[in-house]
Chain A
Amino acid sequence: MIDIKNVTKKYGDFTAVDDISLKVNEGEVFAFLGPNGAGKTTTIKMLTTLLRPTYGEIFLNGHNVMENPSQTRHSFGIVFQDPSLDNMQFHAMLYNLKDYKNRIDKLLGLVELLDRKNDFVKTFSGGMKRRLEIARGLLHLPKVLFLDEPTIGLDPQTRNHIWNYVRNLNKEEKVTVFFTTHHMEEVERYGDKIAIIDHGKIIAQGTIEEICKKAGADKLEDAFIALTGKNIRKESSNFSKSTMRGFHRQ
């Protein structure tokens, strides 16, 4: 479903993503892990046509992401770290959907927001906004759903709910799920396969058991720390454009 072939992303001299290759099969729930600033968000941005790789090729649902952005964009839905709070109907129109009213109701029912259908988004709580984002991301029947830290800042109840929806969707609609998170127990519960990225390179990939075995650890959290080291990373995950320009100048 997703095929990343030797992809590199450079900002000037700085290499954010360094020659990564990755395959995600249809129907998988794939966890993309790594410390802050490792290259997770950059990779997701390249997968979702927001950034162009410096080298390499990406295929999503059989479409070449760079050469065929429009087809690619029909194939995926995405829930961003910062919800954009636009309404479902607007999204439907942007994706040129027909007969979307029933679909909206179905998805709102799924994330238990049907009773709030006519309310303004600004009156929603953080968890409700996130649930709405997920429903919105699924409106156009995507084959792949990207979730960039979908449960950040949510309480365990809401996290649990969100993952149940995602799991259901994955089973019922055969949606491939590609997500990032820092909650390792979430990965152990809901993930099928994992890749760990650090300093722009993929340092491990496989099932949870394979990764734990490779690191000689029982738990994924321990394996993660064993593989990526104990040092706290410089918080540079979201390269602002000014940072990039800074790199260009050097």
Chain B
Amino acid sequence: MRTIYILWLRQLKRFIRKKSTLIGALGQPLIFLLAFGFGLSPIFERAGAGNYIQFIAPGIIGMTVLFTAIFTGIEIIWEKQFGFLKEAFVAPVSRFEILLGKTLGGATVAMIQGVLVFIICLFVGFRPVNISMLPLALLFLILIAILFAALGTTIAARLDDMQGFPLIINFVIQPLFYLSGALFPIVGLPRALELVTRINPLSYGIDAMRYALGGASAFSPWLSLSVLVGVIIVVLIVGIYQFSKIEL
């Protein structure tokens, strides 16, 4: 437990120290909010689907958490090359603890970013329908954060240098985001696209946040909860295995 806490604390301290990453990570969601939120708003409303800012805000929050969480996981590649991971591996702590500490640290950082973007959304005109549902939204935010921090960590365990980085952006992060229902409703899509969005765990996370923040949703929150928890467990199991195989 102590090791997990220490690694978590280290991650958090590093995050607080690097203010440039914090501000940098807010740029993309802001652009999405402004460009998509305002740009597509008239069409969305004319189609009778309601206020687009109201619709897209949970998606943008989910996107922020997705990107930040995977990136903090990917930091491990860096730490592999620059010694920290070796230092942790020769210390009398188990690799499982290291994995959990890194994952929870990354998830916490991502969660903070998500909450910041939520506040930005409020400024742009987003209004949660029911304030008493906010804790539920936070719960799903945390689950998304843990899921993708664990995924980032698991991927990083397999990669040895940053050259694999574009691969992760283009084949993991981008598809997860664009095919998740963050930007468009997942009801009434072409069959193939609908199938893809339904096997994407992020869809469930964003849908559940939408349920908690805005009311309209495609899945039951219980289904979303089970899917997210289930996938977290699977990813962690794979991660533990991958971590035990790391040779430095």
Contacts and interface: CB of A to CB of B under 8 A. Distances in A.
Interface stretch (A18-26, A48-56, A100-108, A193-201): A48-56
Contacts of A73: 90-92
Interface of B: 2-3, 6, 10, 82-84, 86-94, 160, 247-248
Contact of B86 (A74, A80, A91, A241): A80
19 contacts: A49-B89, A50-B90, A51-B247, A70-B94, A71-B92, A73-B91, A74-B92, A76-B90, A80-B86, A83-B83, A84-B84, A84-B86, A85-B84, A86-B87, A93-B6, A94-B3, A94-B91, A95-B92, A242-B160
Contact of A90 (B6, B82, B89, B248): B6
Contacts of A94: 3, 6, 87-88, 91, 93
B151 to A, nearest CB: 20
A82 interface: yes
Interface string A47-74: 0111100000000000000000111011
B207 to A, nearest CB: 38
Interface of A: 45, 48-51, 69-71, 73-74, 76, 78, 80, 82-86, 90-91, 93-96, 240-242, 244
Q: Which of A71, A78, A94 has the most CB of B within 10 A?
A: A94
A95 B2 CA distance: 10
Given A82-B82, A244-B247, 14 more contacts: A45-B248, A50-B89, A78-B90, A80-B83, A80-B86, A84-B84, A84-B87, A85-B82, A86-B10, A86-B87, A94-B87, A94-B93, A96-B2, A241-B247
Contact of B92 (A50, A70, A80, A242): A70
Q: Which of B82, B87, B89, B93 has the most CB of A within 10 A?
A: B87
A69 B247 CA distance: 15
B243 to A, nearest CB: 13
A41 B84 CA distance: 17
Given A45-B248, A80-B83, A93-B2, A241 B93 contact: no
Nearest to B91: A94
A150 to B, nearest CB: 14
Contacts of B90: 48-50, 73, 76, 78
B18 to A, nearest CB: 12
B187 to A, nearest CB: 44
Contact of B10 (A76, A90, A244): A90
B160 A240 contact: yes
A82 B83 contact: yes
The 9 nearest A-B residue pairs measured at CB: A84-B83, A73-B92, A94-B91, A84-B87, A70-B92, A84-B84, A93-B6, A241-B160, A48-B90
A25 B222 CA distance: 63
Contacts of B10: 86, 90
B86 A50 contact: yes
Contacts of B160: 240-242
A80 to B, nearest CB: 6
Q: Which of A69, A96, A241 has the most CB of B within 10 A?
A: A241
A50 B88 contact: no
A182 to B, nearest CB: 20
A83 B248 CA distance: 14
B38 to A, nearest CB: 41
A17 B91 CA distance: 24
B105 to A, nearest CB: 13
Contacts of A82: 82-83
A24 to B, nearest CB: 18
Q: Which of B89, B91, B94 has the most CB of A within 10 A?
A: B91
Contacts of B6: 90, 93-94
Nearest to A69: B92
A71 B93 CA distance: 10
Contacts of A96: 2, 92
A138 to B, nearest CB: 14
A126 to B, nearest CB: 14
A242 B164 CA distance: 12
A82 B86 CA distance: 10
A51 B86 CA distance: 11
A49 to B, nearest CB: 6
Nearest to A85: B83
Nearest to A93: B6
